[in-house]
Amino acid sequence: MLELAYTFLLRIRRRNFNGKMLFYIRRALKLLVNIIYPIYYNIFPTSKTGININKNESDEKIIISLTTFPARINTVWLCIETLLRQKKKPDEIVLWLADSQFESIDQLPKNLIKQQERGLTIKFCEDLRPHKKYYYTIKENPNANVIIVDDDMYYPNFLVEMLIDKSKAYPGAIICNRGRFMKFNENNSIAPYKLWTNNSDTNEPSYALCPIGCDGVLYPPNTLHLDVFNKDDIYNLCLNADDLWLKLMSLRVNTKAVKTDVNMISFFDIITTQKTKLTSLNVENDGNDIQMQNILKKYNIDFSDYNSNQKQVEREGHE
């Protein structure tokens, strides 16, 4: 049903349904999913493994990586359940927990502990806030395809397959389901984050596309500058802005990003999840702009080339 809901939304979105009508349809489907799926997963549990146990050594490793925190620890299992039911199974699914927030696995919810039997790996680490979702997995697995996801989403069972297929079409590019195109001022300085656009008509690789992690992002090997692991800069420059940090670290090695074909819709979030003020802090209170400027000043990034690329992308998108 989850996949049918997303497919249905994608079809009506492509047919340019009335915006208000689409809003209410999506809202109703989201509510239905949030009512049905927790019950369904509890009544009809599965013992099937959620990872690839018959991996061919010649294939590139695929790892799904995420993090959570105390306010969401009781619902993250719902998100992980969707990851354990993928059509194309990853080789690992890793959940990173801050050792300052959780003392041991034994104290975690039973639903979460039980998922270890089907392939979930739970690891403890230093608290880097949202950066935990990618930092340790990519550092420990530099040659793997790492898919980062959020902890409060219902992901379709074609998530991994879709990202990998797009990566095969555009090798070396970062693949995302949601992103924003950076906007620039006439002097090539970066425009405020609120002015960045979601151009759903453009599906070609672009330097100007900033992947948004909530709907899933695939980072192939060698697509990020090694400074991405500079903890001091993460703490001092952008502790709450992992998407921006990853974007600028990809630009430093000239890596483009591209959206998949489902970028016209967004996945359903778990509505029982306790929301944080991160979005409010980063977007509504201009936290993204402050943290972006922190990174730019430190690394002296020139946007001239990326601005030109964006203008070309916009022209192609309207032809």
Locate tokens 């001239």: which residue? 304
Dihedrals φ, ψ of 201, to 5°?
A: -85, -10
Q: Which residues is 147 bridged to in the sheet?
A: 64, 218
Amino acid at 272: T
Tell me the per-residue pLDDT of 272-286, one tens digit each, with 9 for 90 and over: 755 655 555 555 567
Dihedrals φ, ψ of 178, to 5°?
A: -140, 145
| pLDDT-wise least confident of 8-12, 16-20, 33-37, 259-263 | 16-20
First to last CA, the chain: 36
Tell me the three state secondary structure of residue 21: helix
Q: Which residues is 146 bridged to in the sheet?
A: 63, 219
Percent with pLDDT over 90 in the chain = 71
| pLDDT-wise least confident of 37-41, 80-84, 194-198, 249-253 | 194-198
pLDDT band at 302 (very low <50, low <70, confident <90, very high): confident
The answer on pLDDT for 105 being more than 60 is yes
Tokens representing 218 are 């695939």
Give the DSSP per-residue string, 107-120. GS-HHHHHGGGGTE
Which one is predicted more confidently, 8 or 63? 63
Measured distance CA(92)–CA(95) in Å, rounded: 10
Locate tokens 């192609």: which residue? 316
Measured distance CA(186)–CA(303) in Å, rounded: 11
Task: Give which of 2, 83, 75 is closest to 49, Cα–Cα.
Answer: 83
Task: Give which of 189, 169, 318 is closest to 256, Cα–Cα.
Answer: 169
Task: Give which of 33, 63, 36, 35 is closest to 50, Cα–Cα.
Answer: 63
Neighbours of 11 (CB within 10 A): 12
Q: What average pLDDT score do residues 228-256 get?
A: 97
Exposure string for 135-161, b = 16+ CB within 10 A, e = fewer: bbbbeebeebbbbbbbbbbbbbbbbbe
Neighbours of 29 (CB within 10 A): 18
Give residue 275's pLDDT.
60
Cβ partners under 8 Å of residue 73, min gap 6: 102, 108, 109, 112
Give the pairing type, strands 217-219 and 145-148. antiparallel
Cβ partners under 8 Å of residue 97, min gap 6: 67, 68, 122, 123, 124, 125
Answer for the pair 148, 65: CB distance below 8 angstroms, yes or no.
Answer: yes
Fold that domain 58-317 belongs to in CATH: Spore Coat Polysaccharide Biosynthesis Protein SpsA; Chain A (3.90.550)
pLDDT band at 142 (very low <50, low <70, confident <90, very high): very high
pLDDT band at 156 (very low <50, low <70, confident <90, very high): very high
Measured distance CA(86)–CA(81) in Å, rounded: 9
Rg of the chain (C-alpha set): 19
Answer for the pair 211, 247: CB distance below 8 angstroms, yes or no.
Answer: yes
The answer on pLDDT for 313 being more than 50 is no
